[in-house]
Amino acid sequence: MARLAARPKPPKQSKKRAPTRAIEKDLWARGHDVVVGIDEVGRGAWAGPLSVGAAILPRDTRVNGVRDSKLLTEREREALFDKLTDWCVAWSVGSVSQDECDQLGMSAAQKLAARRAIEGLGVAPDVAVTDGKWDFVSPAVPHVELAVKADLRCLSVATASILAKVVRDREMRAHAESYPHWSFDTNKGYPCPVHKSALLGYGPSAIHRRTWVFMDHYVPWTAIRRTPPAGQSSLF
């Protein structure tokens, strides 16, 4: 599958500045009619799914207040969610479970989540835009545009980041009802002192990832079987 060349590193940009359609417009002008923004959430979590959002935007209208999901509060993201889903031409969130993360390793799991997100769109994109320097989308999309800080600069990627974050956060809040000791309603499965203390006191829940090598430094996994993917010493 062809991959578009990575863009040069952009000048430092204020996080308060709204993302634009500049990247999308350039791709449209180059003949790519269906442009999808892609972003992941949950890769660094100790528990719960890894999710990838996909968003295809209209060419004219926009929703005010869109930013990279990390720059918004939970309340702001929730307030935007229905507006964004109504506004998008198509959107989807693909996820892989904690068990799939353990079985596949994080890189392969992220690729699978991206493929599921693309398949959920109901339309075949011509090109995907994603943040960073790693293409985790091919071969699900014919062309991939790698753009540094795309979650800050690119409107479709910022939109995808919000959709993925809200869907995953809602799932983790639901898990908190079944597993109250680990405070998933607040930490969403990510590392933090409260989460670490709960692991020390209660051990892992059913939705914790068991193959995180770095967790050996934090949690005594006594009597807990940890099975890395075959032929792989770590997840990275």
Residues of the chain with pLDDT under 70: 1-16, 212-236
Residue 232: per-residue pLDDT: 42
Strand ordering across the sheet containing 127-131: 90-96, 50-56, 35-41, 127-131, 143-147
Mean model confidence pLDDT for the chain: 88
Query: What are residue 104's phi and psi, to 5 degrees?
Result: -95, -25
Residue 17: per-residue pLDDT: 85
Identify whether residues 56 and 139 lie together within a single domain.
yes
Domain contains 201:
yes
Sign of CA dihedral 46, 205, 163, 114: positive
Identify whether residues 154 and 190 lie together within a single domain.
no
Identify whether residues 138 and 86 lie together within a single domain.
yes
Specify the CATH number for the domain of residue 141. 3.30.420.10
Q: What domain count does the chain have?
A: 2
DSSP string, 60-117: S---TT---GGGS-HHHHHHHHHHHHHH-SEEEEEEE-HHHHHHH-HHHHHHHHHHHH
Identify whether residues 48 and 111 lie together within a single domain.
yes
- Whether the CB-CB separation of 213 and 227 falls below 8 Å is answered with no
Residue 138: per-residue pLDDT: 96
Residue 54: per-residue pLDDT: 98
Identify whether residues 68 and 28 lie together within a single domain.
yes
Q: What is the pTM of this model?
A: 0.85
Residue 213: per-residue pLDDT: 59
List the end-to-end C-alpha distance of the chain, in Å, as a whole number: 24
Domain contains 229:
no
Residue 233: per-residue pLDDT: 41
Identify whether residues 126 and 186 lie together within a single domain.
no
Identify whether residues 207 and 105 lie together within a single domain.
no
Instruction: Single out the residue in 175, 196, 228 at which a domain terminates.
Output: 175
Domain contains 16:
no
Domain that holds residue 83: 22-175
35 vs 9, 30, 91, 198, CA distance in Å? 21, 11, 12, 43
Domain contains 140:
yes
Residue 39: per-residue pLDDT: 97
Longest Cα separation, the chain: 58
Domain contains 9:
no
Domain contains 80:
yes
